Amino acid sequence: MAKQLLQLIIILMILNALNLLSQKVKIADNSHCLSCHDDPTITMTKNGKEISLEVKKHIFSKSVHSSLRCEKCHEGFNADEIPHKEVITPINCLSCHNTAPKSHIFHPSMQFANGTGGNDDINCKKCHGYHNVLSPRNPLSKTHFTQSTEFCGSCHKKEKEEHLKSQHFVELNKNNPNAPTCIYCHQKPITHKHISDLVQLKLKQEELCLNCHINQENNVFARSLIDYDKSVHGSAIRRGNKFAAVCVDCHGVHNLQKANSPHSSINPTKVSSVCGKCHVAITQEYHSSVHGVELLKGNPDVPGCTYCHGEHSVGPMAIVEERIIQQNRMNFNTLVSNKMVFCVRCHTNDTLMAKYKLSTLNKAHDWLPNLQRHWETVRCVDCHSSYEPPNLSHNILPRDATVKKCEECHSKNSILMTKLYKHEKALSREKYGFINGTILSDAYVIGTTRNVYLDFISIVFFGVVIVLLLIHITLRWYFRPAKYPIIEENEKNASDS
C-alpha cells in the first residue's frame, strides 16, 4: 500500500513539473517591449485624443496570446525607433483566426473586415479585449457563455433588458446547464440577417426551441410538443405558409416568461391577444362575447383560446366525471365530437357557477322537453352564440339573448336550424364519406332531408317528369281520332270492290 502511494505521489510531482514547464514555454519573451509598455504613464495622442499604451505584464501573461511575441500581431514595428512604425495599420485578427466569421454567425459583417476596425459588430477587440484576451472556455472570461448577457448587452441594451426578466435568465442564475444564453441561440441562423426566406427562418427558429424543450428530461411541455409539427400551425409552416405561428410568435423572443407570470405574453388573460395577431376576426368576435369581456378584465376563470383549442398540438381533453354525464343524460362521445365537453366541464361546477350567480347546466335547461334528445342534436354554441348572420360561434351571448323559443328552432327556415344542419352534415360526411353522408343523412325534422343537393336533384327530376307528361299529352292531343279518323279495313275493301 505504501509503495502504491509513493508511486502516485511521484506521478503527481511529474505531472506538476510538466505543467509548470508548459507554462514557462507558453509565455514568450516580450521583456524588451514590456520594459516600456508596462509603465502606466505611457500614452500617445491619436485623432486628438490621448490614449494609454500600457500593457500590464501580469495580465498579459494570463492571456491566450501570451505565447506569442508582440511582433506576431504588431507586424513591421521597430522597437528601437519611436514611433515604431510610420503608418500604423489595424491588426488583422483574421490572419490567424480565419474561421472566426463562421463561428460568429451572429455578426455576419465580420467576413468583410479584418477584425479590429470598423463598427462594433465586426471588431474583435470590442468583445474579446486587447491584451487581456481569455479563452471563451475560461469561466473567468467575459466571453464565457454564462456571461454573454452582459457582454452582448453592452451593445444590445434593449435585448439585455428583456432577457434579464426572462425565465431563461432565471434558470441561468440557478446554474441550470440547459438554460440558453445569447451565444447558445444566436450561434445558429435564426434571424433575418442570415435567412431571407421567412418559411425557412421560422423552421430554423422552431428547430432551435424544440431541440431543448423536447429532449430535456422531465420537461412538462415535451409531451405536447412532440407532435407540434402535425398541429395546425406546424403543418401550415411545412406547407410553406409563412404566416403560420412558431414558438417565438406566441412566446416572444428575449422576454420569455412562464404562463403564470402576469407579464407573460402567454398568460391566460392575454392569450387571446396573441392569437389575435393572426386570427383577427375571430378575436374581435371573441372579445365581444361574455367570456371575452371578462377575460379582458383579467378574470382567470373564463376560458381563453387555449382552453378549447389546446396549446402546441391537440389540447388535453377536458375531464368530466361520469356522474355528471349521467345526471345530465348526456352521451360522452357526442360531447367530445361536438366540442361541448369544454362547456360542460365549467358549467356543471357548482362552486364556480355559484361564484358568478349562474345556474348549473341541468338547472339552466330544465325547461327543455326531451332534454336528452337536445343534447344529442344541438350543440351549446348553436343556442348560446350569435344566431344572426354571419353566425359568429365565438361570440357567446349573455343569458337574456340566447334562443329559448321552440318555433325559432323548429321552423323550416330558422337560422339556428340552418347553422345546426351545416354542422351535422359536416360531421356526417367526415364519418360516412360524401356520398353516404349526403344520401343517408339523418333529418333533424322527421321527413325532411334539408339537403340542398337532394332538393336540387328532386326539383330537376320532378321538372323532367312534368315536361315529359306535357309532351305526351300534347302528342296525344295532336294525333287525336277526331282529326285523323280511323277507316275500318273491311269498309276500305268494300269500297275498292
Query: For the chain, what percentages of helix, strand and coil (3-state, to nearest 5) are there?
Result: 50, 0, 45
pLDDT(274) > 80: yes
Range among 149-158, 426-435, 441-450 with highest mean pLDDT value:
149-158
User: For residue 246, which of 272, 225, 262 has the smallest C-alpha distance?
Assistant: 225
The pLDDT assigned to 108 comes to 77
Boundaries of every domain in the chain: 453-497
pLDDT(24) > 50: no
| Confidence category of residue 467, pLDDT binned at 50, 70, 90 | very high
Phi, psi (deg, nearest 5) at residue 43: -140, 175
Q: What is the pLDDT of residues 1-21, one digit of tens each?
A: 555 555 555 665 665 554 544
Q: What mean pLDDT do residues 11-34 have? A: 62
Residue 120 grid cell: 462594433
Q: What is the pLDDT of residues 211-269, one digit of tens each?
A: 888 876 666 666 667 778 888 888 899 999 998 999 999 999 999 988 888 889 888 88
* 146/206: higher pLDDT: 206
Q: What proportion of the chain, given as a percentage, has pLDDT over 90?
A: 13
| Average pLDDT for the chain | 79
Contact yes or no for 351/344 (Cβ under 8 A): no
Tell me the longest C-alpha to C-alpha distance in the chain: 159
Question: Alpha helix (H) ranges present in 181-329?
Answer: 182-186, 198-213, 222-225, 232-238, 247-251, 271-275, 280-287, 290-296, 305-309, 322-327
User: For residue 403, which of 413, 420, 416, 393 has the smallest C-alpha distance?
Assistant: 416
| Confidence category of residue 448, pLDDT binned at 50, 70, 90 | very low
The pLDDT assigned to 151 comes to 85
Contacts of 167 by beta carbon, 8 Å cutoff, 6+ apart: 256, 257, 258, 261
In whole angstroms, how far apart are CA 201 and each of 207, 255, 456?
10, 20, 49
Dist. CA 106–CA 169, nearest whole Å? 20
Residue 378 grid cell: 344541438
- Give CA angle at 401 (400, 403), nearest 5°: 105
HEC states along 114-128?
CCCCCCHHHCHHHHH
User: For residue 348, which of 313, 372, 322, 385 has the smallest C-alpha distance?
Assistant: 322
| Confidence category of residue 446, pLDDT binned at 50, 70, 90 | very low
Q: What is the pLDDT of residues 198-225, one digit of tens each?
A: 999 999 999 998 888 887 666 666 666 7
Contact yes or no for 121/155 (Cβ under 8 A): yes
Count CB atoms within 10 A of the CB of residue 286. 25
Q: What is the pLDDT of residues 485-496, one digit of tens each?
A: 555 555 555 555
| Confidence category of residue 464, pLDDT binned at 50, 70, 90 | very high
Indicate the range of 77-81, 343-347, 459-463 predicted with least confidence.
77-81
Residue 60 grid cell: 498579459
